[in-house]
Every structure is written in structure tokens, then in C-alpha cells.
Amino acid sequence: MVIIIKIDNKERVKKIKEIFDSIYQAHCTLDYKQPYELLIATQLAAQCTDDRVNIIMQNLSKKYKTLEAYASADLNEFMRDIYSAGFYKNKARNIIAASKKIITDFGGEVPDNMDDLLTLPGVGRKTANLILGDVYGKPAIVVDTHAGRLSRRIGLTKHDDPYRVELDLKKIIPPKDQSLFSHQLVWHGRKYCKSRRPECEICPIAKLCEKRI
């Protein structure tokens, strides 16, 4: 039987992060060279694995070498290019429209603030936070399906709504750690705290987790 350590959430997160730091070299698993490529990859990643998105992006980067190339892509052709990502019609429309808007409204630079990022077609808080944290090094909490599930199971939030989860995590994670901790949650979710069969018996943070499963 695992004994759970009772401490406040800020202290708990600190201890969990120390363990994560020692076992994971966590980072975003989407490949990109340019900020706009991360934006596009994140849009493709909805309901699709990062591995598949990386393959698609590899092919796209050979064909569309600039943001302008994405902005002027033929919609039907681009749909075929990204077909294997699923939901390809909406994704293609949004990616082309977002590329156009970055050029016309933001001088060709992916915005570095939440308000402007959220004006881009297909961009929600998850994508915006990923850009802010990974591209611009700003405090940002990315709540994807893994991060949300883990935050609830560990006992860091009671909410299902990703925005409420983000707000709860913001209160207990120091700004400088927010982006990395988000990635660490994802890595831990993939390795131990899987959706259907969490491996609590061998989980390195079991003593710090409320196991709300």
C-alpha cells in the first residue's frame, strides 16, 4: 500500500517537479524549425498523434517552404496533403486562413501574446499557450488531454474544463516552471498515468498523488 504525503499543492508540485526533472528530458514532441510551423503542427495535432503530425510536417516543409507558401496554398491540394491527419477539411481551411492573417495583420510574425494568438483561425488557448511557452519562453500552461487528466488524478484541480484547469495550475506552479511542467505532465501521462490503465504501483510520484481515478 502506498502512503500519500499530505502537503499543500504548491509544495506538492515542487516535489513532483523535482522527480520529473530527474526522470524526464521533457520537451514538445512536435518537430518544427519556424514558429509558424509549430502553429501549423499544433493545429494538425488535434485528434492525431504527434508522430503522424511530424511525418506530415516533414513532407509539408519540402513543399511549402515559407509562411507565404502556406497562405497561398490551393485549398483542395492542401486538403490532400494533410488528409492523414484527420479532420482535414477544417484543418486545411484554418491553417491557410491563419497563415494569411499572420501575414496581413502581424507582419508575418506569429504573435507573442494570447489576445492576438486567439484571433487566428483554429487557434485556441492550448495552441496559444504552446506557442507562448515554447517559442517565446513566456509563462504558459498547456492543458491537453494528458495534462488535464493528470492534474485531476494527482489532485491539483477538480475541474474538467481546460481553462479552469489552466487557472488552477497557474496558482500553484511558479511562472518559470509552467511550460516545462506542462510537458512533463504529458510525458508522465504517456509513460505511467495512461488513460485506461494508470500504473500507480510503479509510478515515481505515487506518494504525492491523490489518485483520483
8: annotated active-site residue: no
Burial call 8-22: b when 16+ CB within 10 Å, e when fewer: ebeebbbebbebbee
- Per CB under 6 A, contacts with ligand SF4 among 125-184 are 150, 153-154
Closest contact distance (angstroms) between CB of 194 and ligand SF4 is 8
Considering the rule CB under 6 A, would residue 203 count as an interface residue with ligand SF4? Answer: yes
Considering the rule CB under 6 A, would residue 26 count as an interface residue with ligand SF4? Answer: no
Considering the rule CB under 6 A, would residue 69 count as an interface residue with ligand SF4? Answer: no
Residues 130 and 154 sit within 8 Å (Cβ to Cβ)? no
Considering the rule CB under 6 A, would residue 200 count as an interface residue with ligand SF4? Answer: yes
First to last CA, the chain: 16
Residues 57 and 40 sit within 8 Å (Cβ to Cβ)? yes
Find the catalytic residue in 81, 126, 134, 168: 126
- The CA-based angle 117-118-122, given to 5 degrees, is 100
Closest contact distance (angstroms) between CB of 152 and ligand SF4 is 9
Would you say 4 or 97 has its CB closer to ligand SF4? 4
Closest contact distance (angstroms) between CB of 5 and ligand SF4 is 12
Closest contact distance (angstroms) between CB of 49 and ligand SF4 is 21
- Per CB under 6 A, contacts with ligand SF4 among 27-46 are none
194: annotated active-site residue: no
85, three cell numbers: 491527419
Would you say 32 or 192 has its CB closer to ligand SF4? 192
Interface ranges with ligand SF4 (CB under 6 A): 150, 153-154, 192-193, 198-200, 203, 205-206, 209, 211, 213
Question: Mind telling me the catalytic residues?
Answer: 126, 144
